[in-house]
Amino acid sequence: MSFLDNYEDVATRIQRFWLTHPTGKIHTSITDIDIKAGYVLVECRVYREFEDSEPSGIDFAFGNVATYNVQMKKWFVEDTVTSAIGRAVGLVLGADKRPTAQNMAQVEQVDTTIVRSSADDYDPWTGMNAIKPIADVIPGIAEALTGIATDPTPRCTHGARVWKTGEKNGKAWAHYKCQEANRANQCSPIWYVVGADGKWKPQV
């Protein structure tokens, strides 16, 4: 008997949700992604009833392409979306284990040397080509992964804002940008500066 037998399959969990809440709905969105750096952060909101304006549960999944085997690398975004759904649905259904069988199978197969190689030091002054390591990203979403219905990504009237970084005149910049396509209707960005500790902080 494998230890994975103690974890529920994502498909089974989703089927159980629809049987329990046939008029519910599941919404997913990408809150942060950098294909060049090889990571994606996906949010999933689950509603027990279609008419509900507020979700019954929110959860997140972070995907890093470096931790996938060769056959799965091209599907790492889709796999991360599936993981977010499985976690959020489990939160609403009250599953005894938040991770799914797929989550745990991936953990079992990850090569620790790959994980260490993706956690190299990060220099915020290198500008838009900087790759933020997993070690810095995971603590930032730790509160969300506890299952508390909170959203760490700033939002505006047009939805979740998008994190953007770059460099101008030799100085790094960053902000959370409104995702509205029409610039005339965009909300003002939330600007960030690099603090004394080398981390981004809201500009005051």
pLDDT in tens, 78-114: 999 999 999 999 999 886 555 554 554 554 455 555 4
Return the C-alpha torsion angle 84, 41, 81, 108, nearest 10. Answer: -70
DSSP states of 40-54 as a string?
EEEEEEEESSTT-SS
Q: What backbone torsions phi and psi does residue 99 show, to the nearest 5 degrees?
A: -65, 150
Domain 3-120 fold is: Enolase-like; domain 1 (3.30.390)
CA distances from 186 to 155, 158, 181, 183 (A): 12, 8, 7, 5
**Whole-number pLDDT of residue 140:** 55
User: Of 152 and 77, which is predicted with more confidence?
Assistant: 77
The better pLDDT of the pair 136, 153 is held by: 153
Instruction: Give residue limits of the domains in the chain.
Output: 3-120
Q: Is the pTM of this model over 0.85?
A: no
For β-strands 171-177 and 190-194, DSSP reports them as antiparallel
Res. 147: pLDDT tops 60: no
